[in-house]
Amino acid sequence: MRLAEIEAISLNIGITVFAAYIFFIIYDLAKKSNAGKFGTIVLFFALGLGLAAFLVKTVVIYMMEGG
Supply the pTM of this predicted model. Answer: 0.70
Q: What is the pLDDT of residue 14?
A: 92
Q: Compute CA distances 30 → 35, 38, 48, whole Å.
A: 5, 10, 13
In total, how many domains does the chain have? 1
Q: What is the pLDDT of residue 42?
A: 93
Using the 8-state DSSP alphabet, how is residue 67 labeled? Answer: -
Q: Which domain holds residue 44?
A: 3-65
- The answer for residues whose C-beta is within 8 angstroms of residue 23's C-beta and 6 or more apart is 44, 48, 51
| Rounded Cα distance, 26 and 35, in Å | 11
Q: What is the pLDDT of residue 67?
A: 65
Q: What is the pLDDT of residue 41?
A: 94
Q: Return per-residue pLDDT of the chain as tens, 67 residues.
A: 899 899 989 988 998 898 899 899 999 999 999 999 999 999 999 988 888 888 888 889 889 988 6
